[in-house]
Amino acid sequence: MSLSKKRPTLLRFILCLFIGLLIAGAVLMAAQPMYEAFIGKSLLREPFFILAAAAALVIAVFLVFPARKPWRLFKWLFRLVVLAIVVALIFGIGGFWQAQNDMLYHPGRRELNAEAALKEDPRAEEITIEGAQGQRWHGFMFMPQPGQAGLVLYFGGNGELAAGRVHTLVRDNLAQLLGGYHFMMVDYPGYGQSTGEPEEATVLAMARAALDYARSRPDVLKDRIVIAGWSLGSVPAAALAADNTAAGLILMSPPYNGRELVNGYVQSAFHAKDAFYTRVPGFLVRNKFPIDSYARQTAIPALIISGRADEMIPHSQAERLSALYQKGSLLTLEGGHAAPWSEQASAQAITQFLAGVADGTLNTEQVTQLTLP
């Protein structure tokens, strides 16, 4: 008895579903080494099990209905080709959708040595912010000087943790960059000791809660809060700045938006030129990150810093983004993605920008002048 001659029955469907599970499982196991080598995470977890179950169901539906005469063999061959395409699309599109978050977010880590060092430093304060739906976001406040001061509310890059960043400020004596400002960073959902899962919506919810918390502190001058973000952190920073209640905005190595971020990475990974056939359709971009839209709504001074040699987020994206800010300007560095944190010209520009915000003398002309080569 073959599958082509039996009519659909419950037993036949169960048999076909079992075959589908075997095939989908084999695809997962075959793709696992490649995905782990390229992305750095395993396929053997819930999102991909759901994809495998969907593929198994499709396979079962294809197999349970027999091909009929005439041309039964050719019909089966045609159906198998269609089936292979459909299963490839399920794993390809679903896998690409999940891979975007796997590459953007790296939760689950802690920097215990940095946390321990900060607990011994009287200038560092461990903070916890509670959300309306039971979320708990953890971070650190660094206060180089006692009493009231402005605040740099900073959002980190891909995989960056609050303990590590604040400890670096202390260890490398970068507090001089802050002259007259405190520094605060809160870990994204799922990072460090923060609860939840990182997604565009949950990251923005955390950012809004962090700003509200900062404004509630008596040691923070509410009219002197500067929002800053590096790389991925540019997204929540730009979103908060769009309501024009902060004193200033600093974006370091920012993407233009989510689609441009994905396109740039895909083209870099495959060494492909920017062309219509190498650009990802918008509906396949999971995290929209509309920083360009936020920029058009922002009227506060904005300093954008980017390196010419940035291969992760091309400098051209920062150039286009800076042109959208009413009071924005661009500092072009020579280095790569981390240049805003390592080059002296960046440190000088940030110091001047913060000083101008603090004494109320910063205007569009001054922002432009301080960032000229």
Sorting pLDDT into bands at 50, 70 and 90, what band is 1?
very low
- Calculate ∠ Cα 230-235-239, nearest 5°: 125
**For residues 266 and 272, is the Cβ–Cβ distance under 8 A?**
yes
In this predicted model, what pLDDT tens digit does every residue of 214-249 receive, in sequence order? Answer: 999 999 999 999 999 999 999 999 999 999 999 999
Residue 373 pLDDT > 60, yes or no?
A: no
Residue 73 pLDDT > 90, yes or no?
A: no
- Report the range of poorest mean pLDDT among 18-32, 61-75, 279-293, 341-355: 61-75
pTM of the shown model: 0.88
Q: How far apart are CA 221 and CA 206, in angstroms?
A: 21
pLDDT higher for 336 or 369? 336
Average pLDDT over residues 188-205: 95
Q: Indicate the helix (H) or strand (E) that contains 178.
A: none
Sorting pLDDT into bands at 50, 70 and 90, what band is 367?
low
CATH architecture of 112-370: 3-Layer(aba) Sandwich (3.40)
**Three-state secondary-structure class, residue 272:** coil
Residue 366 pLDDT > 70, yes or no?
A: no
The boundaries of every CATH 3.40.50.1820 domain in the chain are 112-370
Q: What percentage of the chain reaches a pLDDT higher than 70?
A: 94
Residue 27 pLDDT > 70, yes or no?
A: yes
**Three-state secondary-structure class, residue 181:** strand
- Report the range of poorest mean pLDDT among 3-17, 31-45, 168-182, 336-350: 3-17
- Other beta carbons less than 10 A from residue 81's beta carbon: 10
Average pLDDT over residues 94-107: 92
Q: What percentage of the chain reaches a pLDDT higher than 90?
A: 71
Per-residue pLDDT at 171: 85
Q: Which residues does 94 contact at the CB level (< 8 Å), separation at least 6?
A: 47, 48, 50, 51, 54
What Rg do the C-alpha atoms of the chain give, in angstroms?
A: 25
Average pLDDT over residues 99-118: 91
* 295-330: b (≥16 Cβ within 10 Å) or e: beebebbbbbbbbeebebbbbebbebbbebbebbbb
- Report the range of poorest mean pLDDT among 6-10, 51-55, 188-192: 6-10
Q: What is the CA 135 to chain-centroid distance, rounded?
A: 19
Averaged confidence pLDDT in the chain: 90
* CA separation, residue 155 to residues 10, 106, 184 (Å): 55, 15, 9
Amino acid at 304: I
**Sheet arrangement for strand 136-142:** 124-130, 136-142, 181-186, 149-155, 220-230, 248-252, 302-307, 328-333
In this predicted model, what pLDDT tens digit does every residue of 272-292 receive, in sequence order? Answer: 787 777 788 999 999 999 999
